[in-house]
Amino acid sequence: MNETRYDGLLLDHDGVIVTLCSRQVLQSAAIDAFADAGVSDPNPTDVDAITINVSETELRTAAERYNIDPDALWRYREDRIETRLRAETKAGRKAPYEDATCLERVTVPTGVASNNQTRIVEFVLTEYGLRDCVQTVQARAPTRESLRKKKPDPRYLEAAARELDCSNPVYVGDSESDIIAGKRAGFDTVFLRRDHNATRQLSVEPTLELESLTAVVEILGELEPAD
């Protein structure tokens, strides 16, 4: 670990603060997006291509197959995803992990850097009373251009650090792209193991691997270590 005291805490959102949404829900939103674009029976491969971890190339290829404007298809997809995730949040199926309550006790500047849409992150945090725990949210606009800004590109992390005016934050994520983004930004990283990534192997090495947000907060000196 860096011997210098961390002056900020940066967190991924989905899979770190709040639970992931089921793939079935996201696929359903993608199918609806095609329907909005006038495609009633899209190929399952094309549905998968715009469901999760979408690249601009995959989006363009899927759109061109049906002679759809890729910008329009992406906007339909983003709007449908937002609607579904709001409903999942309201129903309590997308909810904070139990250990997220420890964020209320963090005193260093705290921010979120996420590949999700800003409007979704803001809604989920506000819905569960956690928005006041973070001083900045750096995430995507619902535009095709935003696909070029996703992690492992470090720009959301760097923007969050600038907003918080911290030079030595630690970044907490649950995916390899999170760890790569943190390293590219020059920050120490924590790979947070949850049920969905408990056995995942990484090709890059984080600064630490931990199993709870409480353990993360302990390294900031904000809580006494658990017995």
What does the pLDDT look like over 121-158, one tens digit per residue? 999 999 999 999 999 999 999 999 999 999 999 999 99
To the nearest whole number, what is the mean pLDDT of the chain?
95
Checking if the pLDDT of 2 tops 80, the result is: no
**Domain extent at residue 211:** 8-20+96-219
Residue 130 counted as domain residue: yes
Examine the domain organization and report whether 212 and 132 are in the same domain: yes
Which residues does 211 contact at the CB level (< 8 Å), separation at least 6? 192, 193
103 and 195 in a common domain: yes
Instruction: Answer yes or no: is 52 within a domain.
Output: yes
Confidence of residue 84 (pLDDT cuts 50, 70, 90): very high
Q: Last residue of a domain, which of 90, 119, 137?
A: 90
Q: Is there a domain that residue 226 lies in?
A: no
- Provide the pLDDT confidence category of residue 227 given band limits of 50, 70 and 90: very low
* pLDDT reading at 78 higher than 60: yes
Last residue of a domain, one of 65, 90, 115: 90
pLDDT surpasses 70 at 223: no
139 with 70, same domain? no
Instruction: Mark whether 12 and 121 lie in a shared domain.
Output: yes
pLDDT-derived band of residue 1, with 50, 70 and 90 as boundaries?
Answer: very low
72 and 166 belong to one structural domain? no
- What percentage of the chain exceeds 70 in pLDDT? 96
- 16: nearest Cα among 141, 147, 151, 142: 151
CA 104 to chain centre: 20
State the pLDDT at residue 63: 98
Quote the pLDDT of residue 153.
98
2: in domain: no
Domain assignment present for 3 = no
Q: CA 136: distance to chain centroid?
A: 14
CA distance 173 to 222: 19
- Among 31, 57, 90, give the residue marking a domain's end: 90
Strands 136-140 and 110-117, how do they pair?
A: parallel
150 and 134 in a common domain: yes
Residue 102 lies in a domain: yes
The answer to whether position 224 is within a domain reads no
Q: Please indicate, yes or no, whether residues 83 and 178 belong to a single structural domain of this protein.
A: no
Report the candidate in 153, 100, 108 with the shortest Cα–Cα distance to residue 130. Answer: 100
Instruction: Tell me what pLDDT residue 225 has.
Output: 41
pLDDT at 224 over 80: no
Assigned domain for 154 exists: yes
DSSP state of 95: -
Q: Are residues 82 and 101 in the same domain?
A: no
Residue 99's SS3 state is helix
Supply the pLDDT for residue 221: 76
Whether residue 130 is found in the same domain as residue 53: no
Cis (ω within 30 of 0) for the bond into 206?
no
- 141 lies in the same domain as 179: yes
Q: Same domain, yes or no, for 28 and 14?
A: no
Assign 100 to helix, strand or coil: helix
**Number of domains into which the chain is organized:** 2
- pLDDT of 5 reads 84
pLDDT for residue 222 = 52
Angle at 126 between CA 85 and CA 163, to 5 degrees: 105
CATH number at residue 209: 3.40.50.1000
Q: Cα angle at 128 between 126 and 129, to 5 degrees?
A: 65
Same domain membership, residue 178 and residue 109: yes
Over residues 155-207, the pLDDT tens digits come to: 999 999 999 999 999 999 999 999 999 999 999 999 999 999 999 999 999 99
